[in-house]
Structure 1
Amino acid sequence: MHCYFHLVHTHERILDETGIEVSDLEAAHYQAIKAIQELRAEGEADEVDWRGWHLEVTDASGKVLLSIPLDMSQH
């Protein structure tokens, strides 16, 4: 299944136009967590305020399969 990983805030969306192929929803969840960890590693944690942001995993039709709040997974 092809999944897209969008960063979403109340009035802002950063869209993943490429996406990746995953075997199932569990693999998509793993990739989402990995993407969040990479986002945190790219910048200093203190510089970026992720409150209110979510990483939405969608299928090719745009249906949201997962939504992970970025401010909840800062550990």
Structure 2
Amino acid sequence: MHCYFHLVHTHERILDETGIEVSDLEAAHYQALKAIQELKQEGEVDDVDWHGWQLEVVDEAGRVLLSIPLDAAQH
């Protein structure tokens, strides 16, 4: 299945226009956690106030499959 990883907040959205192909929801969750870890390694999570932001995993139809709060992922 093809999934997109959007960063979303109440009034802001940073959309993933490309997405990736994953085998199942578990693989999508793994990729989402990996993306958050990459943000941390780049220092972007610490430099930005991510309170209230979420990483949403969305399918091709636009349905939200997973939602991971970024402020919780920092701890």
Residue matched to 2:56: 56
Instruction: Give the alignment's Cα RMSD to 1 decimal.
Output: 1.1
| Contact 2:40/2:46 (<8 A) preserved | no
Give 1:71's aligned residue. 71
Match of 1:18 in 2: 18
CA 17–47 in structure 1, closer or farther in 2 if over 3 Å, else same: same
Tell me by how many angstroms 1:48 deviates: 1.4
* 2:33 is aligned with 1:7: no
What amino acid sits opposite 1:57 in the alignment? V
Q: Percent of counterpart pairs with the same letter? A: 83
Unaligned runs of 5+ in 1: none
TM-score w.r.t. the length of structure 2 is 0.94
Aligned position for 2:29: 29
In structure 2, stretches of 5+ residues that fail to align are none
User: How many residues in Structure 1 have an aligned counterpart in Structure 2?
Assistant: 75
Contact 2:2 2:19 in 1 (8 A): yes
Output the TM-score relative to the length of structure 1.
0.94
Report the structure, 1 or 2, having the larger helix content.
Answer: 2
* Whole-angstrom distance in 1 between the partners of 2:12 and 2:20: 22
Structure 1 segments of 4 or more deviating over 3 A? none
